[in-house]
Structure 1
Amino acid sequence: MFKSFTRLAVAAAAAATMATPALAQDEGEWSGNVTLTSNYVFRGITQTDEAPMVQGGFDWASDSFYVGTWASGVDFGDGTSTEIDLYAGWTPTVGAFDLDLGVIYYWYPDAPDNPEQNFFEAYAGASTTLGDTVEVGASVAYSPEFYLEIGDAFYYAASIGIPLSEMFSVDATVGYSDFVDAGGDYTDYSLGLTTSLEGFDLDFRFIGTDDDAFDEYFVVSVSRSL
């Protein structure tokens, strides 16, 4: 099926489903992560035909720089079974804002060649803390030739995170996919509850879009840092 963004990111998430770079250290440091999710959803669209999937990645960080890779199984209904993300970025702090500037390459090694599924994105994000606890952020990602060679595409996102207690926090994200040349723009949203237990991070998340062509999902993920 049509793939509208897959991570970060940014994302993130961004989330999902995006790899999360390790925090910068004065000296170079390796870190890893592994996740079992009930459904890999990227920018509001399932990447696994709503099936569970194992994901994981490795990062290296030094000072304000990081590089890493992240991988997941996928199911687009065309024989594509694997996504591998390669990324690098810079995380300076300017005043009260933490920045994240970088590039990411989405690689599908067993995908059909025509049209091309692999693509690059450049991304920029900023986050800050309001008061002592409320985290807010915004980001933008740009691809000069998005998935399936549909041309220019932007992805805009805004997020907020609020701790409920020492164990639980909630977060919400709203994103907008702007396909400059192809059309079909849409908005996606995510509302999550997160906690940690015995070294495992648990994420319970409701995800949807304003496009009736896509379903709404309740996703449960369990992850662990390595």
Structure 2
Amino acid sequence: MSKSFTKVAVLALAASVVATPALAEGEWSGNVTLTSDYVFRGVTQTDGAPMVQGGFDFASDEFYIGTWASGVDFGDGTSTEIDVYAGWTPTVGVFDLDLGAIYYWYPDAPDDPSQNFVEVYAGAGTTLGEFVDVGASVAYSPDFYLETGDAFYWSASAGIPLGESFGLDASIGYSDFQDTGGDYTDYSVGLTTSLEGFDFDFRYIGTDIDGNDDTFVVSVSRAL
């Protein structure tokens, strides 16, 4: 699961985040990404700096499990994020579903308050007409980052192919903090393409948070 790519893809599940590539039964896969900025739900996790990321997934039938890691820079000594996740991807009628849970672990973060947290998520995607992919999802944490309590993340996205080599997608998300306030909206528009086994992502990302600058992120990824 490469959050730089998949969390802004059609299902826009978080992380992204939280959508897992479709794999054949019993298949292992891996990925590595170099990104100009690791942005999670519209907010940089690396203080605007480039970062290397990567992960591994295993899928069998409609189930998957995996892990993903990235460097981070929160200005408090925290340098690493490791995500562990599992989910179920049934198809119901014309909808492809993704139901699962993800644990965000920051092994070298300060202990109090804890930065580690868990989310459960549910998403659905389908194709309108012959080529317009749309999706919506929700993620819920009973005790979000820094022990801030109940939090939801709602998102929706759409994507279309541009010829045989390119794709265009857009997503919008809403972070809803039940206990602390500070809700905000994030959005992104991206152009994707592949060349010689590498996947390229060019993305404009913004939020309505005062003082949080919009950014343009370039990422290159390769499946292993």
Number of aligned residue pairs: give it: 220
Q: Counterpart of 2:56 in structure 1: which amino acid?
A: F
Q: 2:7 aligns with which of 1, 7, 11?
A: 11
Deviation at 1:212, TM superposition (A): 1.6
Quick check: 1:194–1:201 contact (8 Å CA) kept in 2?
Answer: yes
**1:21 aligned counterpart, secondary structure:** coil
**1:206 aligned counterpart, secondary structure:** strand
d(CA) in 2 for partners of 1:16, 1:91: 17
> Gaps spanning 5+ residues in structure 1: where?
1-5
Two-structure CA RMSD over aligned residues (Å): 1.8
Q: Counterpart of 2:64 in structure 1: which amino acid?
A: Y
Q: Which residue of 1 aligns with 2:177?
A: 179
Quick check: 1:24–1:65 contact (8 Å CA) kept in 2?
Answer: no
> Gaps spanning 5+ residues in structure 2: where?
none
Q: Which residue of 2 aligns with 1:30?
A: 28
**1:148 aligned counterpart, secondary structure:** helix
Q: 2:219 aligns with which of 218, 221, 224?
A: 221
d(CA) in 2 for partners of 1:162, 1:178: 28
d(CA) in 2 for partners of 1:122, 1:10: 17
Deviation at 1:17, TM superposition (A): 3.9
d(CA) in 2 for partners of 1:147, 1:76: 12
d(CA) in 2 for partners of 1:170, 1:105: 30
Kindly, what percent of the aligned residue pairs are identical? 75
d(CA) in 1 for partners of 2:30, 2:198: 13
Higher relative contact order (CA 8 A, sep 6+): 2
Q: Counterpart of 1:127 in structure 2: which amino acid?
A: G
* TM-score using structure 2 length: 0.94
d(CA) in 1 for partners of 2:219, 2:15: 9
State how 1:110-121 maps to structure 2 within 5 Å: 110-121=108-119
In the alignment, does 2:197 pair up with 1:199?
yes
Go from structure 1 to structure 2 and tell me whether the alpha carbon gap of 1:198 and 1:16 turns closer, same or farther (over 3 Å shift).
Answer: farther
Q: Which residue of 2 aligns with 1:212?
A: 210
Deviation at 1:215, TM superposition (A): 1.2
Q: Counterpart of 2:87 in structure 1: which amino acid?
A: G
Quick check: 2:4–2:219 contact (8 Å CA) kept in 1?
Answer: no
Quick check: 1:10–1:139 contact (8 Å CA) kept in 2?
Answer: no
